[in-house]
């Protein structure tokens, strides 16, 4: 039998001043496994306040309202497509049964890698509590798009920040992971989130031509529209049922959230019949587009758009075109075509 709690861990991790039952419950008076495991709690931090909150009271309290814990972004990202009865069906038969299962507990980031699609990579460091291990935690939940784009594993250009040794927590601070006490409906509502200008002071850019270019495009073009290095994942059939596939592309179009801005778009093809197996009809399907503004995590200082104005202004090389819109998609997509 192997033991995941070593003498080193017991002596070097402050969490082990508590005994196992402080978090996992069970009966420590029993020597045999069956008796000792009576009432065992396998994932204590599924209840952050009742477990981690015993010591980390404020952090646990705000975490229960965070998007990582509530998965509210998944819910509110699609809910406008439903009428009131449809929202109730979605809540009961889809969100709670599927989307909500993706919420992260404290332990998923600090003790054990989350289980994704049946893949369980186990404890992060022999049951030691770790501050961060992005390649084993963030990468598993956000491994469909963000992490492989960031590292270049998807086949594109690795993000310049990754190449310089930065990882997720260099931009996304603890407060963003743990929440700030506000129950947001989605990540776009969060006021205190990373921004390019938070580190890159545009007033201190070198050449006069560079300053002029940024000033000219400041209100009408997002940073990612020019600085996305290479094609990123477009979710071709992920929300259509019957398996998922994706294709690489850079897509530029009008932002559905920031009127008048040209930005990078990502296809999220929720089809008209996506929730039909749950008996759910999206009566307001055309109220939302199938493309959403996105910030691909494969940023570079110089791209074909920063080197040559004609890429956008003459060729319109990556612009979303009407003929490229998904068949049977939302009529709202037409508003995004430049």
User: For the chain, where are the alpha helices, taking DSSP H only?
Assistant: 7-12, 21-24, 33-36, 57-63, 67-70, 72-76, 84-89, 106-110, 138-141, 146-151, 160-163, 168-171, 174-178, 208-217, 223-227, 304-307, 310-313
Three-state secondary-structure class, residue 217? helix
Contact predicate 138/147, CB 8 Å: yes
Residue 249 confidence (pLDDT): 95
Which residue bears the tokens 């068949």? Answer: 327
Residues in CB range of 300: below 8 A, 6 or more apart: 157, 159, 160, 227, 228, 229
Residue 1 confidence (pLDDT): 35
Which residue bears the tokens 């290095």? Answer: 229
Burial of 213-233, coded b for 16+ CB within 10 Å and e otherwise, reads bbeebeeebbbbbbbbbbbbb
Tell me the per-residue pLDDT of 180-209, one tens digit each, with 9 for 90 and over. Answer: 999 999 998 988 889 998 999 888 877 888
Low-confidence ranges of the chain (pLDDT < 50): 1-2
Residue 332 confidence (pLDDT): 97
- The token pair that represents 186 in the structure block: 């989605």
C-alpha pair distances (Å), 26 with each of 1, 9, 40, 124, 235: 20, 21, 4, 23, 44
CA angle 321, 327, 329 (to 5 degrees): 85
Residue 2 confidence (pLDDT): 46
The DSSP annotation for 246-290 comes to -EEE--EEE-SSSTT-EEEEEE----TTTTGGGT---TTGGGS-S
Residue 287 confidence (pLDDT): 97
CA distance 173 to 132: 11
Q: Parse the chain into domains and list their residue ranges.
A: 195-338
Tell me the per-residue pLDDT of 280-310, one tens digit each, with 9 for 90 and over. Answer: 999 999 999 999 999 999 999 999 999 999 9
Residue 102 confidence (pLDDT): 80
Rg (CA), the chain: 23
Phi, psi of 302 (to 5 degrees): -115, 130
How does DSSP classify residue 45?
A: G
CA distance 250 to 265: 8
């Amino acid at each position: 039998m192997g033991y995941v709690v070593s003498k080193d861990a017991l002596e070097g991790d402050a969490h082990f001043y508590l005994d196992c039952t402080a978090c996992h419950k069970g009966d420590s008076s029993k020597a045999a496994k069956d008796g000792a495991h009576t009432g065992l709690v396998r994932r204590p931090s599924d209840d952050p306040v009742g477990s981690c909150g015993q010591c980390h009271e404020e952090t646990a309290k705000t975490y229960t309202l965070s998007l990582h814990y509530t998965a509210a972004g998944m819910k509110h990202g699609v809910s406008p497509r439903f009428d009131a009865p449809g929202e109730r069906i979605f809540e009961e038969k889809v969100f709670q049964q599927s989307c909500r299962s993706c919420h992260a507990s404290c332990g998923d980031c600090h003790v054990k890698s989350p289980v994704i699609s049946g893949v369980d990579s186990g404890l992060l460091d022999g049951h030691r509590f770790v501050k961060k291990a992005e390649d084993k935690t963030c990468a598993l939940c956000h491994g469909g798009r963000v992490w492989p784009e960031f590292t270049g594993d998807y086949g594109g250009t690795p993000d310049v920040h990754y190449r310089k040794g930065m990882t997720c927590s260099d931009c996304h601070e603890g407060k963003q992971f743990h929440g700030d006490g506000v129950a947001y409906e989605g990540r776009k509502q969060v006021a205190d989130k990373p921004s390019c200008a938070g580190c890159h002071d545009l007033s201190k850019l070198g050449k006069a031509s560079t300053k002029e270019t940024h000033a000219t495009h400041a209100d009408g073009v997002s940073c990612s529209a020019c600085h996305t290095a290479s094609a990123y994942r477009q979710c071709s059939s992920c929300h259509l049922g019957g398996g998922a596939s994706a294709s690489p592309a850079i897509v530029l179009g009008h932002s559905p959230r920031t009127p008048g801005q040209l930005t990078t778009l990502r296809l999220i093809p929720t089809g008209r019949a996506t929730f039909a197996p749950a008996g759910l009809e999206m009566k307001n399907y055309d109220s939302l587009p199938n493309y959403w503004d996105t910030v691909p995590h494969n940023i570079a200082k110089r791209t074909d758009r920063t080197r040559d104005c004609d890429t956008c202004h003459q060729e319109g090389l990556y612009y979303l075109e009407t003929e490229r819109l998904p068949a049977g998609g939302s009529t709202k997509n037409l508003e995004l075509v430049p």
